[in-house]
Amino acid sequence: MDTETAGTPAPRRNTLTKEVVIRTAVALADEAGTGVPSMRRLGDRLGIEAMSLYHHFRNKDLILDGMIDLVFSEIELPPGDLPWQAAMRLRSASMRDALTRHPWAIRLMDSRTNPGRATLRHHNAVIGCLRSGGFSIAGSSHAMSVLDSYIYGFTLQELSLPFTSSAGLEDVAGSIMEQLPHEEFPHLSEMLADRGLKGDYAYKEEFDVGLGLILDGLERGREGWR
Amino acid sequence: MDTETAGTPAPRRNTLTKEVVIRTAVALADEAGTGVPSMRRLGDRLGIEAMSLYHHFRNKDLILDGMIDLVFSEIELPPGDLPWQAAMRLRSASMRDALTRHPWAIRLMDSRTNPGRATLRHHNAVIGCLRSGGFSIAGSSHAMSVLDSYIYGFTLQELSLPFTSSAGLEDVAGSIMEQLPHEEFPHLSEMLADRGLKGDYAYKEEFDVGLGLILDGLERGREGWR
DNA sequence: GGTTCTACCCTTACGCCGTAAGTGTAGCCG
DNA sequence: CGGCTACACTTACGGCGTAAGGGTAGAACC
């Protein structure tokens, strides 16, 4: 065990690898909705001063890049042995899961511009799945655009809701209903009364409704995009 | 002009109204991608110390709420005298425009939980449009979910691109193409070569492709959702 | 063994941030 | 005139990312 013969230089001392730092940062971000940890908090958790982190990362953005790539690495790639629609269903669900498990991630995505390997691998696999499903390059591009937009947008809205459990839903909907001037917003009022208070407004199902609609539309347009 | 007879208390001195503050905050946020201004910068622009703002707003979140509501107020409501699909096309385009004009807005949306009047009015109008287009309550709910998810998600991705003008596109795509290990990500590589470098990859058109697909799907499911 | 080098970590400091707490004052009302 | 209130200011605190530079354990070479 002490005779390191690996190709990596085999660090000499406390060996604080980038991977450990990023994993810790993700774990900290997931704990209690405090969002992305500060350098000082991250250092604390690692038993290190904040400034020591700058020995491993030139600046904080590089840590954020790593965090995003770690999230992407958790998303299942579309299985190659399934029809493209089923494969897309799986990876879409997995993507929504990952973004929900790490609520801070989607807020970060639009500020990252350097995709990591896991991110590239993910996109590559998605395109590959579509192409072997019979989509042209243009078609794959359209399909990926609609699908990703939907998944990001849906999750963004889902995460912005002021409650977490489905139990809290009725309370919130109720208090909104009380404050809302019903004469001014009759349609909104009606929908909240019908959908919100019933309590059966499951987000998982809602996600699948939209996803199914989009997949059907893609199948219909598949041959047309050249 | 000096004899104020309006219902509002008619302020006595320097009259720094909430509306002016919020408008200034939006203007500052729009200038150079610095994002939402700090309280000190906002105060500076208004010729006021930062802390004086707390006389008008209990905390910064209330200012952010106001900024979001102002953005919503800029979105055109779906015209009542058009078929629902055409009306939705118009408000969707207007929504994307507003979110693009104020790139900081979409990042803020998921942290706001108190919708303003313009926001409520917007949602109410959208539901009303769908309902009079023949959708049931459940159907309107589904339609709104898919549409808003798509618009948010598409704009989010569009804003996260590392370039602004369509001129900068080719440069970026080119430099990505150089760095990318083509053997490892063949499909991604192929798509970038085909779509990116051609330079005709217009985002406006891409947006309309997905939107049309969704609207068609909604029309097809309209009668089915009860 | 002794020397040197370097990867790793630490200290101090700067200019930002949101905001708690308290102070001053101009202008209206009685 | 006196008092009140709306509006603005001052000072201060703890936290942020990070620039600049200092120290030291342990491997590498003589």
Q: What are the domain boundaries of chain B?
A: 18-221
Average pLDDT of span B139-148: 97
Is residue A77 within 8 angstroms of chain B, CB to CB?
A: no
CA distances from A200 to A180, A189, B141, B192 (A): 21, 17, 13, 43
Whether A68 contacts A109, CB under 8 Å: yes
CB contact under 8 A, A128 and B187: yes
Residue B170: the pLDDT is 67
Q: What is the mean pLDDT of residues B180-206?
A: 81
Alpha-carbon gap, residue B92 to B209, rounded angstroms: 13
Q: Does residue B6 carry a pLDDT above 50? A: no
- pLDDT above 80 (res B14): no
Q: For residue A49, which nucleotide's C1' is closest to its Cα?
A: C10
Query: Tens place of pLDDT for every residue, chain A, 226 residues?
Result: 333 333 344 455 556 788 999 999 999 999 977 789 999 999 999 999 889 999 999 999 999 999 999 999 999 999 999 999 999 999 999 999 999 999 999 989 878 888 999 999 999 999 999 999 999 999 999 999 999 999 999 999 998 876 655 556 667 777 777 888 889 999 999 998 887 655 445 788 999 999 999 999 999 999 999 7
What integer best gives the mean pLDDT of chain B?
A: 87
Cα A198 to Cα A19, A170, A195, B127, B226: the distances in Å are 46, 8, 6, 18, 15
Looking at mean pLDDT, say which of A174-183, B66-75, B188-197 comes out highest. B66-75
- In this structure, what token pair is assigned to residue A110? 């639009």
User: Quick one: tokens of A87?
Assistant: 């494969």
pLDDT for the residue B10: 43
Alpha helices in chain B (DSSP H): 18-30, 39-46, 60-73, 84-101, 105-109, 117-132, 137-159, 167-179, 186-191, 203-221
Lowest-confidence range among A80-89, B9-18, B46-55?
Answer: B9-18
Pairs of residues, one from chain A and one from chain B, whose beta carbons lie less than 8 Å apart = 170
Is the pLDDT higher at A103 or at B200? A103
In this structure, whether the domain defined by A1-57 belongs to CATH 1.10.10.60 is answered with yes
pLDDT of residue B144: 97
Q: What is the DSSP letter of B79?
A: P
Give the distance, in angstroms, between residue B12 CA and nucleotide D5 C1': 11
Which residues are CB-neighbours of B79 under 8 A, at least 6 positions away?
Answer: B87, B90
Least confident of A84-93, A204-213, B159-168, B205-214: B159-168
Q: Tell me the pLDDT tens digit for each residue of B96-126.
A: 999 999 999 998 987 888 899 999 999 999 9
Using the CB atom, is residue A111 less than 7 Å from strand D? no
| Separation between Cα atoms, residue A129 and residue A83, nearest integer Å | 9
CATH of B18-221, one of 1.10.357.10, 1.10.620.20, 3.40.50.2300, 1.10.10.200: 1.10.357.10
C-alpha radius of gyration, chain A, whole number: 22
Q: What are the backbone dihedrals phi and psi of residue A130, each rounded to the nearest 5 degrees, phi first? A: -65, -45
How many CB atoms are located within 10 Å of the residue B214 CB? 25
- Indicate the SS3 state at residue B143: helix
Minimal CA separation from B117 to chain A, in Å: 10
List CB contacts of A159: < 8 A, sequence separation 6 or more: A99, A100, A103, A106, B110
pLDDT score of A167: 59
Select the residue from A34, A145, A161 to test the B interface by mutation, using most B Cβ atoms within 10 A: A145
Task: Provide CB contacts within 8 A for B77, sequence distance 6+.
Answer: B91, B121, B122, B125, B126
